Structure 1
Amino acid sequence: MLQGDSSAEGTQPPDIEWVFCESIVDAFPLLEEEDVAGIWMSRTSLPQTSEIRGMMQSGLMLRDMPEGVALLDADLRVIWANHRLLQWAGRPSGTPLGMTFYELLHNPEIMGPDFCPFHTALATGDESSSTLHSMDNQYFQVHAAPVRSAESPRNLIVTVGEITDEILQQQKLAAIHQAGRELADLRPNEIFMMEVDDRIDLLKDNIQHYLSDLLNFEVIEIRVLEQTTGDLIPLLSVGIDEEASDRRLSAHPRENGITGYVAASGVSYVCHDVQNDPLFIPGVADARSSLTVPLVLHDQVLGTINVESPDVAAFSDSDLQFLEIFARDIAFALNTLELLVAQKANTAQQSCDAIHSAVALPVDAILNDAVHVMEGYIGHSPEVMDRLRRILQNSRDIKRTI
């Protein structure tokens, strides 16, 4: 009976014992006791029906909320779990509870930062959180908080959020950064003796590998901007029609397709539907959408990278973000390659200059001595004169060559 209700006294059999409660919230837990038959609430307590209504609504909210919720006892056994948590666990509604929380989720891997979040919350009385990785490659963020109640001081309320997309995106970003470091890591001591074409082929192979295997792009075109003419020179074409690959394009916003527009503006461009985009110039017969990103280094456009798909609106904001990150690494690698080529050309010139300096003086001395000897042999042995003329000619040829 609620505190203040006396209308039921004297109207019931004398063998009924009445227990008075301050509120309906305090009364409901008593129903778990075997000798409690029910709750009596008189009309004078009807305003407290709002509490009943609130409890019922709270229960529905917890049951149907988009996040997982569970109530655990001190042994981490599940007292109650809502529909969403059971769904994520692959358990049917009405699953017999009593298993531990980790058993409910099929013993997932605990990834931290707290590797014992439930014991931490029970021991300290503070909230704790961690990340779980399930066997079917799902990631969950769990948050445990002790229940602030005298009746159940050792219980935990646990909320669970599904963060698979977030974690996978973080992993992909980390992989892209690693790929970028490897792409730009063109060590001079490893490739300095390679010809320029071999270096370009090595870079193209690495770019194609990462774009296909890491970013899952199958139709790729990369063009390098010739700074003096504004022409966009094809560097790499995968899955692009030969006619489109050989097409002359310039860094100009008009009549040069999306690639020319991106090279001229330095701004990425997402084409969701090629049939309704006036800038698009066909590169693949069945292309329905495209994504084009500039290759920029130190605020200077070095070229463009374009990927296409046979599906309409195939590229998301994440695809754009990933490609822009990788495009910066490509631009850096291209710049590094250009510097290495320039370094090799400069080194070759220095070598030529050193050879010239070392050989020029001795050759001049040979020429002077040969002329002096010829003057002394004029009118004498024709055979000696022929040999001296050959010495002079060969010495002059050596000097011209160096």
Structure 2
Amino acid sequence: MSYKNDATKALEIKTDQLSIINQFSSSLLQLDTLDELFEYVTTHVVNRLGFVDCVIYLADNNAYTLNQVASMGIAHARDKYQAERKVIRFSEGITGAVATTGKAVIIDDVTKDHRYIADERPAQSELCVPLIYKEQVLGVIDCEHPIKAYFTNAHLEILTTVAHLLSAKINQVNTVNNLQKTVEQLNNAQKLENSLLQIANLTYKANDLDTFFEALHSIINNLLRADNFFIALYDKKVDILDLVYIVEEGINTKT
């Protein structure tokens, strides 16, 4: 009877875990920013797993550091929990070791692990999995619990699956963001090129300096807002700048 109950309980746990993964997979389609993504993982995914403490770190592979981007915990008299260490070097702690090796770990008793960095609420056990996409470590998910040997291989399995899905989505969001930045840079470059061509044509078409200055201001104003704008000509003989065109608060002022 006990064996049957254990088997039934194990099946229920597995079914619940599959439900969490399926819901997370479906929700990924609607999460467009990293902030939304991390918030969902900590509040909806990890919380449903029954974990009481979770922090997500993103890796800065140039500085060799992990930077906290989201956290969840059962805090006293407050809703939001923040880990004490916001930045952790790759050479520090269990999280740093996971980021360095790219391998997940379960620590049954952190008091016996010299790498453990005590938080404002010291834990007894820890589960840490890397966020990896195409062999590149993007960060880590770090979970702690006040009970020794709390985390199981089943916890490791499902959190690893979550990490795989999260890593792929992080890469997708970063790719889209980089693409948008590239498009914006190309658009700005095109605007600059067009403005330079307009200025070049203006040097031939303008009949007087006043017309040239006004047209030049208009061209530059299309690139960036120039409510305050002036043009000065340098007089070598007397070594001074002569202000020949002034716009203050959008109003043209003759000097």
TM-score, scaled relative to structure 2: 0.74
Q: Secondary structure at the match of 1:307?
A: strand
The reply to whether residue 390 of structure 1 matches residue 213 of structure 2 is: yes
Equivalent position amino acid for 1:346 in 2: T
1:267 equivalent among 100, 103, 108: 103
Give the 4+ runs in structure 1 shifted more than 6 A. Answer: none
2:183 corresponding residue in structure 1: 347
Moved more, 212-221 or 226-235: 212-221
Separation in structure 2 between the aligned mates of residue 396 and residue 354 of structure 1, nearest angstrom:
14
Q: Secondary structure of 1:353's match?
A: helix
Native 8 Å contact 2:127 2:156 kept in 1: yes
Contact 1:183 1:207 (C-alpha < 8 Å) held by counterparts? no
* Correspondence for 1:337: 173
**Given the alignment, which residue of 147, 172, 179 partners 1:311?**
147
Say if 1:310 and 1:347 are closer, same or farther in 2 by CA, change over 3 A: same
Give 1:271 deviation, angstroms: 1.4
Cα gap change, 1:327 to 1:250, in 2 (>3 Å): same
Q: Residue deviations 1:49-90, cap 9 Å, x none? A: xxxxxxxxxxxxxxxx977xxxxxxxxxxxxxxxxxxxx8xx
Q: Give 1:234's aligned amino acid.
A: Q
1:366 aligns with 2:239: no
Cα RMSD after superposing both structures: 2.9
3-state secondary structure, aligned to 1:174:
helix
Deviation at 1:278, TM superposition (A): 1.4
Query: One-letter code of the match for 1:222?
Result: I
Letter in 1 for 2:22: Q
Distance in 2 of aligned mates of 1:207 and 1:66:
35
Alpha-carbon shift at residue 181 of structure 1 (Å): 1.6
Q: Does 1:220 align with 2:61?
A: no
1:251 aligns with 2:110: no
Q: Is 1:237 aligned with 2:71?
A: yes
| Corresponding position of 1:285 | 121
Matched-pair contact (CA < 8 Å) for 2:72–2:82: no
2:11 aligned partner, one-letter code: I
SS at match of 1:182: helix
Residues in 1 aligned to 2:34 and 2:139: alpha-carbon distance in whole angstroms: 15
Larger radius of gyration: 1
Aligned residues: percent identity?
21
- Tell me the distance in 1 between the aligned counterparts of 2:23 and 2:46: 12
Cα deviation for residue 203 of structure 1 reads 1.3
Map 1:132-147; keep pairs closer than 5 Å: none
Q: Do the aligned partners of 2:52 and 2:72 also contact (CA within 8 Å) in 1? A: yes
- Which of 176, 179, 185 is residue 29 of structure 2 equivalent to? 185
Q: Which amino acid in structure 2 is aligned with residue 330 of structure 1?
A: L
* More displaced 10-residue stretch of structure 1: 208-217 or 391-400: 391-400
TM-score (norm 1): 0.49
Q: Which amino acid aligns with 2:23?
A: A
User: What's the secondary structure of 1:287's corresponding residue?
Assistant: coil
Provide the C-alpha distance between the structure 1 equivalents of 2:2 and 2:118, rounded to a whole number of angstroms.
44
Q: CA deviation at 1:209?
A: 2.4
